[in-house]
Amino acid sequence: MNILDRIIIDKRREVILKKSIIPVSQLEASVLFDRKTISLSQNLKNSNSGIIAEHKRRSPSKAEINYSFTVEEVVKGYENAGACGISVLTDGKYFGGSLDDLLLARASVNIPLLRKEFIVDEYQILEAKAHGADLILLIAAVLTRDEIKSLSEFAKSLDLEVLLEVHNSAELEKSIMPSLDMIGVNNRNLKTFEVSLDFSKQLADKIPTDFVKVSESGISSIEAINELKPYGYKGFLIGENFMKTNNAGESAKEFISKL
């Protein structure tokens, strides 16, 4: 069993436990549930840099990345740096994140927030909305076409945007539907964790122009972004590259101004 399979098994169990404690009505009663969301896809279309900066403490492939800064310090740094949006990892077991991170990020900045999570259930989308997210991530590798359809339509009904992540043409073909806003190509193979920008290049012309194209993972240089822009990519998700430094916000600022 690969790491992704393990994460999803744990995630399904986690959702069942959470549902037994926090009812949907409690999530819907959150003060953030009625806030107007901010569009990341619009931000990306209007941006020259297209940077989506990530808050990530650790990952299965790199045990520890950074535990030395508060969420507030990191996200404010990203906002000041001119990031188009911020991705906040909320998985606890594998990435050291939590929904509290999303809440603290929302209280600190006024740019779009992505709940970066392994979503398998509508309940997690309600959680995202209740904790201040503007968009959610759906991962094609772990969902059927019907699940992608029902989850993305449910997100849209809550005024959340949807970033769908794919890794190969089979995942892309099964996923294309009007309820998505952005399609992200993960340059990291989630089963083996190897990274290559070729994944983004190979899939670029298969993504219909109605969707904002995002390249995710393994982007650590200005050159990589300049290499991908001619393929129509508008968004670039960068996590580890900023988080592994002594000051994520400063390193994002330097990167974006160079770009």
**Of the residues 116, 129, 213, 253, which is catalytic?**
116
pLDDT of 63 strictly over 80 = no
Q: Known catalytic residue: 36?
A: no
pLDDT band at 119 (very low <50, low <70, confident <90, very high): very high
Taking 90 as the threshold, does the pLDDT of residue 44 lie above it? yes
Query: In this structure, are residues 115 and 137 in contact, taking their beta carbons and an 8 Å threshold?
Result: yes
Q: How confident is the model at residue 192 (pLDDT cuts 50, 70, 90)?
A: confident
For residues 41, 15, 157, 170, the Cα torsion angle rounded to the nearest 10 degrees is 60
pLDDT, residue 202, reads: 97
- Does the pLDDT at position 62 exceed 80? no
Q: Which of 49, 175, 186, 241 is catalytic?
A: 186
End-to-end CA distance of the chain: 40
- Chain segment 76-91, per-residue pLDDT in tens: 999 999 999 999 999 9
**pLDDT at residue 164, rounded to an integer:** 98
When pLDDT is averaged across residues 64-80 and rounded to a whole number, the result is 92
CATH number for domain 3-258, candidates 3.20.20.70, 1.10.274.10, 3.40.50.720, 3.90.190.20: 3.20.20.70
Q: Cα–Cα distance between 35 and 14 in angstroms, integer?
A: 27
**For residue 100, pLDDT beyond 80:** yes
Non-local CB neighbours of 106 within 8 Å, separated by 6+ positions: 32, 113, 131, 132, 133
State the Cα–Cα distance between residues 50 and 256, nearest whole angstrom: 9
Contact 204, 213 (CB under 8 A): yes
Instruction: Say if residue 43's pLDDT is above 90.
Output: yes
Tokens of 106: 């929302």
Catalytic one among 117, 165, 171, 240? Answer: 165
Does the annotation count 14 as an active-site position?
A: no
Q: Of 53, 48, 39, which is closest to residue 83 (Cα–Cα)?
A: 53
Give yes or no: 216 in active site: yes
Indicate the pLDDT class of residue 163, thresholds 50, 70 and 90: very high
pLDDT tier for residue 3 given thresholds of 50, 70 and 90: confident
**Segment 204-227, tens digit of pLDDT:** 999 999 999 999 998 999 999 999
State yes or no: pLDDT of 191 exceeds 80.
no
| Residue found by looking up tokens 């083996």 in the block | 192
* H or E stretch covering 149: helix 145-157
Q: Is 116 marked active-site? A: yes
Q: Tell me the mean pLDDT in the region 2-30.
A: 96
Q: Is the pLDDT of residue 193 over 90?
A: no
The 10s digit of each residue's pLDDT in 232-256 is 999 999 988 999 999 999 999 999 9
Average pLDDT over residues 157-167: 98
Three-point CA angle 242, 86, 76, nearest 5°: 75
Q: Which of 54, 161, 171, 240 is catalytic?
A: 54
The average pLDDT across 111-127 equals 98
Note the pLDDT of residue 113: 98
Active site residue 165: yes
Mean pLDDT of 147-174: 98
